[in-house]
Amino acid sequence: MQWTILGAGAIGSLFATHLLRTGQDVNLLDTRCARQHASHPMMLELLDGSFCMCELPCISHQAVSDLTLLLVTTKVWQVIPALEALVGKLPHSCPIVLLHNGMGPEEWLLTHFPQNPLLTGVTSCGAFKKDPHHIKHTGLGETWLGALNEAGTHYQSLIPPLANALGHAAWSDQIRERQWRKLVVNAIINPLTALYNQPNGMLSEHQAEVNALCEELHPLLIAESFTEPVTAWCEVIFKVAEQTAQNYSSMQQDLAHQRKTEIDYITGYLLQQAEKIGIKLPLHQDLYLKIKKLESTFTT
Residues that are catalytic: 182
Q: Which range of residues in 42-50, 160-168, 181-189, 210-218 is near ligand PAF by CB under 6 A?
A: 181-189
Write out the binding residues for ligand PAF, residues 90-109 only, by CB under 6 A: 101
Listed residue (62, 57, 52, 39) closest to 2, CA to CA: 57
Task: Verify binding: residue 74, ligand PAF, rule CB under 6 A.
Answer: no
Q: Which is nearer to ligand PAF, 179 or 250 (CB)?
A: 250
Task: Verify binding: residue 189, ligand PAF, rule CB under 6 A.
Answer: yes
Local structure of 182: helix, strand or coil = helix
Q: Which is nearer to ligand PAF, 17 or 190 (CB)?
A: 190
Q: Which is nearer to ligand PAF, 85 or 232 (CB)?
A: 232
Q: How far apart are CA 78 and CA 67, in angstroms?
A: 20
Q: Are 53 and 43 in contact (CB under 8 A)?
A: yes
- Report the 10 Å Cβ neighbour count for 286: 13
**123 φ, ψ to 5°?**
-140, 145
**Residue 237 CB, nearest approach to ligand PAF (Å):** 9
Exposure pattern of 102-118 as b/e (b: 16+ CB <10 Å)?
bbbbbeebeebbeebbb
Task: Verify binding: residue 123, ligand PAF, rule CB under 6 A.
Answer: no
Q: Which range of residues in 43-51, 171-179, 246-254, 288-296 is near ligand PAF by CB under 6 A?
A: 246-254
Q: Are 144 and 171 in contact (CB under 8 A)?
A: yes
Task: Verify binding: residue 179, ligand PAF, rule CB under 6 A.
Answer: no
Residues that bind ligand PAF (CB under 6 A): 101, 185-186, 189-190, 200, 240, 244, 247, 249-250
